[in-house]
Structure formats: C-alpha cells, structure tokens
Structure 1
Amino acid sequence: MKNKKLVLSVLSTAVVSSMAASAYAAPDSGFYIGGAVDKYYTISEFIDQKETAKNEVLQASFANVVYVHEDGRAAKLEEIVDEGSLSGALRQPTADDFEDKYTNAATGEEVDPKSQLDPVEGDLKVESVSAINAKKLEVKFGAAVDVAEAEDDTNYLLTGLTGIAIDDIQYDEETKTATIILDNPIPNGTTFALTIQPIPSKDDASNKTELFTKTLTFSDTTKPTYVSTSYPEAGVAELKFSEELSTEGTVKVYDGASEVTGLSISLKSDDASVLSISGLEVNKDYKVVIVGAKDQSGNLISPNPKEVMIKSTVTETVPPTISAIKAKDHSTLEITFSEKLKKIATSPDKYATVTVDGTEADGTQTFDEETNTLTVDLGTAAPSADGVLSVSVKDFKDLSNNAGAEFTKAVSFVATGPVLKSTEVKSISGTKYVVLTFDENIDGTTVEGTDITGTYVTPENVLKNVDSATIDETTAISVTDNQLFLDVSGLEAGTYTLTIPAADVVDGDGNAAAEDVTFTFTLTASGDTSKPEVVNVYLPGDTVTPISATAGRNEVYVEFSKEMGASALDEANYKIEGRTVFEDAVFVGDKKLVKLILKEGAITISGDQELQISSAVKAENNVALDAYAEDFNFEENVKPTFVSATLVDGDEIKVKFSEVMNAASLEDDDDFEVIVNGIKRTVSKVEAAGTAGTDDDEFVITFSSALTADELANGVIQVKLVADSDATDIATVGNPVVGNVTKDVQK
C-alpha cells in the first residue's frame, strides 16, 4: 500500500537521523511492525536485518507499522507517506498506535509499548484520517464524541470521488474511531478530500471538534497474502489474509487427489479478510487451492494460485451442560450453557431442540457468545396463560461437536411487558431518529400515534414543553421488531425527557409495560451541511415520477435529493460526453426537479452516452454536488427529412426519407399531396415499401386516376409533404418530420 520507494527513502532517513532526548514517556525507539508480524526492531537491528525487516513491513501494511524516533515522537508509515516527509508526520505517540504485544526481533522477549506511554487525556479533535483499503476510510478522534453525530453521514463530505458515496459509518467508542464504508472502491492514483463537520463531545454537546479537511492520495498495488488458519469450531477452518478481499476467486478443497464437494465456502460478512470453510470432517487433512482472489483494489493474491493445508483437530471431549433456564415471559426462554454452542441448523439458525409440555418451539433462536445464553422465541409452543410447565432441551453441541445430554426442568411462565433497554440518537438515510430498544418485540399498532409528552431544556437553559405541536406522533413513530424509531428531525436543540404511556407499549401477547416508558436524549444544533445527490434521471418517454407525467421530446429531467440553488438552472453545468447540448433549464414542481431542454439535433446517433453534471451545481445550503457522470441510452433527436420521390407505376410513387419512419404516422394517408400539372390527385393509400404496417424509410403512395401516356411523357409530377404532417421517426418520443417540402417525381 502506498508508494514503496518513498517509504524506503523515509526508512533510510529514520535510521540515520540525529538523536535527541524525549520530552515525555515513550516506547523505545525503533520499528513496531504489527498486523500478522508483531515484531519490534531497534534501529540498529533493523539495519542489520534490512531485507527481512523490509519484507515484514510490506506484509504488515504501512497502516500497521509505527516508527518511534529517538526523541520519543512517532508516526505510522502510512502517515509519513500521506505527509510526504518524516519530520512533518512525527507526533506524540498514543496507545491507539500500538498493538498489545510485540516480539523483540533480536532477543525474542515480549515488548509492551503501551506500558511505556504517559497517560494522555485526548484533545477533542480529529487526530487522523487514513484509507484502510479501497472501500474503507478511518477517522480517529482524540476524545470520545457523540455516537449519533459520528455515524451521521451528513457530517462527512467527500470531494474528488466520482461514482463513490458513503454507504455506512461505524463508530467504535472504545478506540474513538469512525470507519467510513464506501459503496464502491477508490481507483488507484485517486486524490480526494474528506471534510468533517464539527462533531460534539460525548459528554458536552456544546463542545465540538473543529472543521477538519484532509486531502489523501490513494494507491494500493500490494498483493494480498495468506497469513494463517484458525479453527473456531469443529469442522470449520478460517483462513486469514493480510487485508480484506473483494472476492475469494475460485476455491477448491481436496482430500488427497479428490475434490471435496458440499462444503460451505465464503468470505465472512463481518470480516472480508477471512475465508470461512465449513463442513469439514474433523481430524482429517485437506488441501485448499485458491485462484484469483483479489483485494478491494483488484490486486491478485500472491502467490496465485495459493495452496494451504488445513486440519480441524478435535481433542476436547467434555460435553456442554445447562446451568439455568428462565422464562422472560410467555413467549421467550433464556437458557444458559457452560460453553459456546454450534448451530445444528441454519435458515433459520437453530442451536437446540426446545419443547414446552411436549410442543416444540418453532420461533427464532439467537446465541450470545459472551454469556453463552440461548434466547428462544417459543412461537406456537408459548403457553396462553401463567403456569409452571415442563421445558426440555436436547440436540445441542459445543464447538468441538460434543453432544450435551437432554435436560428437563419445570419452569414458571409469568406474563411481563416490554422493558426499555437502551436509547440512542441515530441518523438513518439522512433522517435523525431516537431509537428505543426494548427487551422484546413490541406491537407497532398500539404505539404508533400514541401521545408523547415531556419537556426539554434548550442550550440557553430555557425549559419548554413537548406536545403534539412539537412532535406529530401520527407520522413520527415507527416500529421494527424490538425497536421504536422516533423521528426528531427538525426539533430544536436541547436535552429532552419524554414519556410514552405504559398502556401503549405492548408486546406481541398484549402484555403492556409495567410503567410509563421515560427516556432522555440530547439533540445538538447543526446546520444542513449535507451534499445534494442525483436521485434519478428521466429521458424522453420516461414517466417522471415526482410530477406523474411523461417526459416529452427533447426533455431530460434531473431529480435531486434536496432543494437546489440557481446553479442548477445553468444549462452549461450539464453536458453529454463533454458537449454543451442543452439550451434551457427550469425547475418543475419544486426545486428538486430540473427540466433540461436539448438543442434540436444535438444527439445525432442513438446509443449509450455519458451525462455529466458539474460540481458547480449547488443546493440551497450552498453545498456542492459531487461531480456526476452516468451512462444513459440517449436517442437521436434529429428531425427526419423527405429526400426523394420516384414513379414506380402509373398510380404509385415511392417516397424516401432520411431515416426509418414510424409506419402508423404515415399510413394515415393525410401527409402527402400528389400534384400532376398543377392539379392535385386524391391520395388513396400510403404503405411501407417493404411490408405494410412496418417501420421503413421508404413508402409507396397510391393515388387516383393513373397517369396517361402524355402525362407520363410530358407532365410535371410532384409530391408534397404537407406543412402540418404528423409523421415521425421511430424514437421513443418520435422526432417530427420537416414538413412543407415538395419534390419532383423522378420518372
């Protein structure tokens, strides 16, 4: 990753730099190589083992290598490359820079750099921005920030990336790091900028980071490599790679010389650097061959193909046991085990067979690996009333495939209502919500539209009431499973304390909450800094959804995600394949929809062409659109012309057009006049020259009173395409013919 020559130059500078005393406690100087390497080199040892160390640096990736200077300052190699110099990148090291343990390359002793650091209270700022790979950016904050604001995509603006947008943002409170996940990979050699709006502190909404902008140049030509194999459970192998993969390519598993089929092979959904292979026989050797695996930048695995020997060895033979069974309510059981369980079925996931008084539970099962607790939705096995019933649990296995003994216990079932577990402010698709999570699913029909009351205190310390004028409960509340979403977009900044009546918070069995549900949250003041996006483009003949109308000839509609400014009406900001082809632009309906008018004849050939919209187009909040470029099938808009007329029989004339015409528009017999020696003859029929009713560029006109020999020899015969002809070509919205044209008939 990054420019290797620059890094090698930086390393040379580092190892010969002058010594200086450290101004604060810092790890020993040298190179801390993390990732899958986890080694520490003193500067002298790095020089002595230069080739080995250099290869380990490249294997670990520059984001996982920290250089600590003699003066105690430090920088990751990735930061040095981004900065372009060693001196500009050095800073005070933090615990986040290092992994927990390294091995001294010279002595083999364990090294703990974090223990050598001074405890540092982080500043409320954006400390760094870096690219983890082609689809992930990492933003590190100096202190804990508000989770909802850190995960709000409107607080992040990407410029310089075409066709790439933010797909998701995940903030880790422990590491104070936001990971930005993009919908498409960044091409190598791309320079772009990320602007981060002020983000409030977790503890004080009035204290915010400063506006931050970082320009990055992304390049990744490092090939991914196989690192190691682990076995999370019996019959499952997980192959770890040096970075996330975009595709595993072709994976074959062999038992000796025979290919093994029926295995489940895929990249893990939560960690694309891990290839999971399940369905293996335990204590058996297999060979895995991987061909064509690629990272997010399209770099092929090295070597390619890669062969790995795997074996799921099982020696643990102690079966799992059950320590507790508890009924949360009539419909849910919680069963605690002595260890982790493996799934005995999928789609849906199943960990054990559970029966209540002989009826098998057929609802969903989820397993918490931290507490070894299985939560079972009883489904049709749920009792209809309070009581003590027999619960049996069997068919469960631990990760080593050891089967547990069937367990039966008398369990007391008592109906209880939902209990609020957490409150979170979260931005979802640009809309801000308060998300209430309960311990069980709640009934949306009883709570949607309920009366929410309460108070809030503004940043100026003014107490105000909340009522239906503040929150429109009929539209602001929605429910999905065990979560209630309250739309709070547009509400005034402040700290809110709201209450929902207990009777309206009901589970699927009709059990209401034991008491009113009261929750508190804080909203911060923030202007609209979100960037506009192109939602849709409508071509001639398309149904323009926002106005329920059909786009006419030469009309192209562009629908934006937000109200746009005057720059959206500058037709020069819209081009097709770099050409200025539009002559007018107007808002239609509202300022989100722009109608563009194509210049006559601007599109000469039908086919896929790129519509380009300049980043000079801005929304009403003055935030610019990311430069837009997408391919569309534009149809030509050149008006057809009447080319020639030829006599083919005594009463028939064949006319030719510049292009294929719509047969129905000409065969209505009202587009032509046949004139012989200045006198009109009646046109009785017009048909396509090939097959009647078929679109063609030639048509035959039949007229009354066939020509006499004298008229044929000496007469002046003409065909006129009338001025008000409604004939068109075959475009979706037909281009009208150029009318009021008279041609002499060739004899």
Structure 2
Amino acid sequence: MKKTFKVSAAAALAISALTPVAAFAAESTVAADGFYTNNSFVAGSDFRASTNPEKAAILKNPETVMVIGGKVYFAKDAILATTNAQLAEIVMTEADFEAQHGELTKNGYEVTPVTGELKVESVSAINAKEVTVNFSKAVDEDSVIDASGALIANTVSISAVGTATAPGTLTPELSEDGKTLTLTATNSFKGQYAVTVGTAIEDLDGDAIKAFTSLITVKDTTRPTVTGTEYAADGTATVTFSEPVDTSKFTSSEVILKDETGAVTGAITATIDATGKFFTINAGSIPANKEYTVTLIGVQDAVGNLISPNPVTFTLVNSVNDTVAPKVSSVVASKVGEMKITFSEKIKSTSGVVGTFDINAAGSATDIDLSVGGNATVDKTGTVVTVTDAGLTAGIKSITIDAFSDLAGNPGTAYTKLVEFVADTTAPKYVSHEVKTISNVQYLIVNYDEEVTPTNPAIAYSYVDEKQVTKSGSIASGSAVSAYDATDATATAAKAIKIDLTGLNVGKYEFSLPASLVADADSNISAAKVVTQQVGKAELTDKDAPELDSTWVAASAVNGNKVTLVFNENVTATTALNIANYTVEGEKVFKSAIFDGDEKTVVLTLKDSALSLDGDRYLTIKNVADLAGNVIEETNEVLTFVETVRPTVTSAEVTAEDEITVTFSETVANVNDADFEVFVGTSTTADTITVTGSAKTYVIKLSAPLSTLSTAVTLDIVEGNDIEDTNGNALATVGSVTVTK
C-alpha cells in the first residue's frame, strides 16, 4: 500500500493558495510568502511545483514556518488545524515571530549573531550511542549537568521522530574546554530525531544560550574497531574500542587467548565495562613479560554492526608494576537511599564486587556489587561508585568503606565518614508531552524530571471534534495509565508515563492531568496540569516490502551448515533462491538455497569449509522481492555460525599385525564397522573387521593377522558414512585411502 500524507482542509487551502484562510487585517509585510526553516527558504511557487513526498518533508519538519500574507504559522501546527478559528489560535505576526526566533530572510530565519553570543553551532551523531552538541563558547557545567551527573531538565532533549528508536535516558559529559556536550543513550540512536536546546544553559558569565531546534538522522553503519590496549600492574589488559559495543552480547567466549606457542589458554575472564568502550582480561591469564595473541569474533555495537575485521587479532605484552595502595577520597550522600564513593584509582572487581560498606558500625558489611542487578554502578572513569541501599535513610550515618583493592591487587585501608542524608521533599515536575503510536495503539506520553510511579486516577478531558462540537469525557482510573520506559516494557517506575487513548475520537483535546497523577520514590506527588494535544488515528506500519518475519529468531536460525530464513510474505523463487543475494561478512559462502514447506521459508546451505571459526558474523540479505515486486531493504542480521571445515582422514597405518590405526584431522563421532571396508591380499571380499577408538584415533581390528608386511592391504571409506565432527560437518574423505606399514 502507498503511504499518504493528510493535511486538514483549512490548512490545505492556506498552503495551496498561499493566502490567509481567515480574514486578517491588512498589514505591511517584509518577508516573502513561503516556507522557512532556520537555514532555508522555499517560495510558494516552488512548493506548489514540488512532488508530494517533497511537500510532506517540508511540512513535517518541526522547524518549518509558513508565511502567508504577513502572518506566520508553524507548519506542524497548521497542518492539524481543521477550521479558520483553529488557524487563528496559532498565528503570529512577523514582528512577534522575529522577536522570538530571528529575522525571516531568503536564507531562512536566524538571529543576527551577537559578538560572543552563546549558541549551538552543530549537533551530530558520533555513532549509534553518542550525540554531540557543539557550542560557540564554553558553557557553565552546572547549568547542564546536576550534582548526580544527570542531564538537567529543559536543557537538551532528543526525541525520536516516527519509527526511530527511543534513545532512553541521556547521560551527559562536557568536554574540558566546555564547548562540546556528549550525550550517551541508554538504548541507541537509529532513525530521525528532534533535538531541542532550551535557554536554561548558560555561559561562564551567566548569559543564556539562544534556543535551538534541529532534526538529525542517525544511521550508523560504521563497524567498531580495536583502538588500543593498556596494562595494569597485575598484568590485567584493558582493550579499548572505537565506539561503545553492546555489553549485553559480549561474553568471554568471544575472546580467544593464545600464548607464544599458539596454544589456546584455559578459561579466561573477559569483563566488558558498563560503558561498552573497553573490556579487561583477568590478570591470571596474562603472566608478566609474556606475549599473547588475542582474537575477537562477533563483537558488535549498539545497533548490531560487527567488529571490523571479524575476527580481529592483536598482540598483548604485560610489563607494568604498581605498588601504591588505593584510598577512598570521599563519601557523599546523593539523596536518601543513595551515596557516591570516590576512590583514588580504579578498583578491582571480583565477580562484580569491589568492596563493602557498613552503616553505623552495624558489624554486618554489605557487598558493593557492580554486577547486573547489583546495588552499585560505576562512572566512566572507573573511580566513582554509586551505591543504593534501603538502610541509607534520612539522618546522619557513619559509613565505613572496606575490603577494596586496586587493579594490581594492592589492598586499601578502611575509611569511615559521617554522612547526612536529607529527605527529598520536591514534587516531580511536568517536562513535556506527546502522542506516540506503540504497537498500533496511541498513547499520550507525559515526561517528568525524575523517576515516577503512576497512581492511576481518572483523567478528565474535553475536545473539539471534526464537526467543531465541544465534548467532554474521562479516561477511567486503572490500567489505562502505566510507567513508560522505551528500553524496558516491564518497568513500574520511569521518568515518563503513558496514557492509553484507545477509543478516543479524532480531535483537539485538553487533558486535565490531576494532582497526584504520579509520585516519586519519596511519595512526593505531582501538581495538576492541563495539556493540549491533537489526537488522530493510529498509523499502521507499512509492510509493502518483504522483511524477515517477526516470528523468525536469529538465535535459532543456524543449524550446523544450514541457515533458515522466514520472510513475512511469499517471495519469488528467482530472487529468494539466488545465493548471490546472501553473503556472510561480504563473502559468498552458500552453495544452495531452497524453499522449505512454503514460499516464505528459505534454507541456505554453506559451502564445505567456508568458515574456520565459531562465532557471530553478519548475514546480509538483499534483492529479495515479494510477488508484487517490492524489494527487501538490505538487511544485516548477526548470526552465530559454527565452523564448517569438514574432517578428513590424515593417515592410515598398520600398527600391529592385525590392526590398522586411522587418524582423523579432528575429533569425530559416529565411527563404526560399517564405515570401512578392508581388502587383504588379492581378496575381492571385504574382511570382517571391528572398529574401536575415540576422538581423532580409531583402530580397525582385522579378522586374522597379516602373514607378511608385503601383503597388500586396501582401505576404503564407505560413501554415505555418517562420520562427522562435533559441529556436524560430514567426513570429506571417501573412497580408497593409502595404508602405510
């Protein structure tokens, strides 16, 4: 089906004619009629000559304003207006608009720069986890980042547009020169985003920044790389990446460590940092002054880009020594239930535990646990640990930190300090709201400045329907309101709530959010708030082009040398069974493709010996078309492949007068008597044999001893045997094998 872009009748008249719909008093105008953003201008005649997709792009841009006969409208509001009266509500004069946003010129609207003015110079994505905001001059860190290290509300927001991935919480970091703010998403960036910078940010002189809005599109296809290594005193190696990698998919099995002889070491511990920017290899695996080779396979970034090259191999050599003990620099209360501990250097973690704390010398120390689900987190420097505990109630507490050591194993000395925890009495504050369609259901998303839990009261509303009739109603108390965390569908507390709008008619609504709609962790309740929002019909996802079906699971797609793909609709044999349309890490490694049961399911078979290592690799799918000719968007899926090198017989030797020892290239299974035929002397009848053995070595017992070593012995590997290696790769050797004596 074709996507359509709908504009209300009132707005359509205004746009198409570029004359005001409502009757406005004549005034002297300066700006030409047309469409302006903060860096562009499209005349009315050019707009009318544009294609529908081009028009839609202009009108959907949140920066676009329309100037019509001296009146100014934000296009995003105008396209929702259904009557002249509604257009009148959103109109601005040129003077009012320019006072707030800058002069309207043929280059767009932009305030004449003031020497030394603080403004945003650019916004860009470094990768799928990080976005940078660059300022014209240094900003005051305290106006952007609060004492806990969180982004201050109403400073910078990054909102997903359309089907873009919600970034989740943004963690800020200001550069040393104060001119670059890096925002790291707990989820990731993928798609189009509206970036808004409010006037709360100040420069070092206390002057406010100029408000800024912009759209950015993030499509990270850059693969992460290994950028360097560092060594701690105990031999622990820290390996850094060019960008954050997906910590949830990083395991020790992806790290292969070999010593100077090329032998694989025993089990190692490779621990990924919470930021995903580096990992460490435990000291026991890297003795001092020895050279090791490390191979990584299948490591991927936040949006699934695999490391390059994949696999990647590099060398580690440990030659560092440290004898200085670590210290606790400070312990401060963040809030009731939370404290921050600052160490003089990075602290060693043992199964996630970096030390202990005791409250009021209770004598029952509690572990400081950085593992997933633990009671602590560590910042990017590795020295500041945040601990949450129910025992950190309001009042003065004696806190003792103990049982910690640095990366070299040097133990620290216990540290005790009196800390006062002050109860939070500040109510959660409304920040913003919007409508989002989630799984084809419309929700009103309300954002707050802290984590809240909904109390689920009824929510009254009034609205003007499509016939301009004012109506009222309410959303019943109960399950219609829930916590909203784009990264965790099961969250019961979050910095936003979602209100189910199912059953509401199309119209412009005023929602009366009641007092106590939400409460924070200290039971402070929100104030009443009235918000206005246009509610329309939920847009269904366009599935014109084929794609992998939602029931298809990458984790179970590979079975030995077979890869099964399931599309969401029937696809053509010409495109789906063309093995050139499927590659692994850019290589054509498949020898066949067949339909399995229907025209949605395709089974690919790998070439013999195509892959030499187990691990994650990219499968790229392209050019596959459905029956209507719609072609799949190039798709990259991370699959866990097993090596496909087929075992072979490396030797067959008479090792006793009635025994032949057969050696394989690797461990094999399913070896039995029926897999071999032995002919002794000139006999054309296969000897009766018995086969025993395991792993790589098997012994064939003849029915009778050889009378002389000059007697001819012929060994055949029977075609159709079921000998295979541990990954299910079938034996490559069949037919006659030379027997040595």
TM-score greater than 0.5 by the shorter chain = no
Q: TM-score scaled to structure 2, two decimals?
A: 0.38
Q: TM-score scaled to structure 1, two decimals?
A: 0.38
Structure with higher Rg: it is 1
